[in-house]
Amino acid sequence: MVKGTKRFFLEIAYDGTAYHGWQIQPNAVSVQEKLNLALQTLLRAEVETLGAGRTDTGVHAKQLYVHFDSDNILLINSPDRFVHSLNALLPFDISVTRLLEVEAASHARFDATERSYEYHVHFTKDPFLINRSWQLRDRLDVQRMNEAAKLLLGKKDFGCFSKSNTQVFTNICTITEAKWIEVAEKLVFHITADRFLRNMVRAIVGTLLEVGAKGKSISYVEEVLASQDRSKAGTSVPAHGLYLTKIKYPYIDPIKE
């Protein structure tokens, strides 16, 4: 970090429909690209952001933290004004919730201790859920899916649910919550872990649907985990039903979230 600059966290949210995910990439529009452009316009300086994680094309985020460094006095003296001004520069489908000054060594990705996702499905045609939930024709056996989901809990190798050829140092994750909840005419899958592999949640949902919709045994989940083979797991479900919902840090007060 350059002397005189301070590190800040931004809490943001976005509808991912129009974007090729969070991370900047060539020849595609990303959330990070739009955020960096707005920050650079407001601060009149080059800004590099780093997110707590990446979301794929079409995936939404109700809460994502990013960090960046700046020496701009506006950030320190008028954080609310800064958030208001930044929101005015961002597209309608990206919003900033708050700005936090943090310690210089704080890291949006490596300091996160817990991440949560939701996956939304519905059964009745609803134009207001387009690109926000996945419509299924057949009802699901929620009880059996929840019994199968319990088999995911704990510290395990989840390589069977990961996109192939990803550059990660380990496939070990610790899942602390995995359950389906019925909400009116919708079903929402909630999952929380210390970390997630690429495509992991969508592959897990697809695997649980094999139990709840296609009649596979509850022990099928154990068989998939033991195989360590992505081809044994269910198909990845569409991205538009997936939401990153919460990220926890040891130094951010959850009461204020």
Any idea which residues carry the catalytic annotation? 56
Read off φ and ψ for residue 103, nearest 5 degrees.
Answer: -65, 155
CB count in 10 Å sphere of residue 142: 15
Closest CA to 14 of 70, 74, 54: 54
Residues in the chain: 257
Please name which of 118, 60, 63 lies closest in space to residue 93, comparing C-alpha atoms.
60
Annotated binding site for substrate: 117
The token pair at 210 is 């094999």
E strand map for the chain: 6-14, 50-51, 60-70, 94-102, 114-122, 134-135, 154-157, 172-183, 186-193, 242-248
Contacts of 231 (CB under 8 A, 6+ apart): none
